[in-house]
Amino acid sequence: MYYTNDSMTIACYNISMSETTKVTRGSHAQVRKEKLEKWELEQPEKSVQALPADLNLTGEKKRDFYLSLASLNYIEAAKQIGLGARYRTDSSLRAIGYRLFNTINPDELGISKDAQTIVRNAITNRKVKSHELMNSNERSIMADVLDPDDTRKLIDGAKNKAVLALNKKFDYMLNSKKQLEDVSLSQLATAFGIVFDKSQILRGEATENVAIMAKIKTDMTPDEALKSLLNIREVQQEEKVAANDKK
């Protein structure tokens, strides 16, 4: 269906845009619309890619396309003038529709200023609606992720998957001589140490045992006893490092 005059366009626009205009109702929606318009005006002028040389569109088709944007998006408007036979995907139709709109001079096609305003407002309204939908989806996603009740479930699920993947990796290495040979002893020891320590923590058991080879005075204060234990631990750590260096 092509629009043949501006009066028909305005009439169709008033009917088909009844749902879209709901977006602009209310002070908040109006403020968002004004901010979007201001942002677009402040953006530097962008050069629009020219239309393909073999895309021969008559003035009538360009006029029909332009006026149909009062109620249709770029994809639908491009399909309406027959571009769907050449551009099969929505992304390509949207791109050619955008380029066509920006290369059309509505004054040269005899389109009135009132009709031009209606088309521009319709495009802006669709942008506002799209932005609101995206923001709503983002808020919904964030709410799902940040929900305290779901956070623990997500962490537990990730932990179980990580353990399962690690076990499968170890099984694969054990069944493949080449894979096992490619892994150094230090890498295996590090992996074992991490797994062992984490399993001990989950069981509430110690990750390190310190043997105390000295007698602690019973009359020591808790702070003095703790300091003595830490000193013994430091000495043992230094002895281990020295022993490793000798090796």
Domain boundaries of the chain, sorted by first residue: 6-146, 148-207, 210-247
Whether 168 and 174 have beta carbons less than 8 Å apart is answered as no
Q: Could you tell me what percentage of the chain is helix, strand and coil, using 3-state DSSP and rounding each to the nearest 5?
A: 70, 0, 30
Per residue in 87-132, pLDDT (tens digit) is: 989 999 999 999 999 999 999 999 999 999 999 998 888 887 776 6
Distance CA 95, CA 160 (A): 45
Is residue 18 pLDDT above 50, yes or no? no
Q: Is residue 11 scored above 50 in pLDDT?
A: no
> Does residue 9 carry a pLDDT above 70?
no
How many other β-carbons are positioned within 10 Å of the β-carbon of residue 171? 10
Quote the pLDDT of residue 7: 45
Q: How far apart are CA 84 and CA 188, in angstroms?
A: 59
Of the pLDDT bands very low, low, confident and very high (cuts 50, 70, 90), residue 66 is very high
pLDDT at 77 over 50: yes
CA 84, distance to chain mean position in Å, is 30
Distance of alpha carbon 2 from alpha carbon 82, whole angstroms: 11
pTM (global) more than 0.75: no
Lowest mean pLDDT among 27-31, 100-104, 199-203: 27-31
Distance CA 10, CA 14 (A): 6
Report the SS3 class of residue 210.
Answer: coil
Instruction: Say if CB 93 and CB 79 are below 8 A apart.
Output: yes
In angstroms, the CA 16 to CA 127 distance is 16
Query: Above pLDDT 70, what percent of the chain?
Result: 66
pLDDT confidence bin for 146, thresholds 50/70/90: low
CA-nearest of 239, 21, 245, 207 to 121 is 21
Give the residue among 68, 155, 156 at the shortest CA–CA distance from 104.
68
Round to whole Å and give the CA distance between 128 and 40: 12
Reported as a pLDDT band with limits 50, 70 and 90, residue 180 is confident
Is residue 195 predicted with pLDDT exceeding 70? yes
Q: How confident is the model at residue 186 (pLDDT cuts 50, 70, 90)?
A: confident
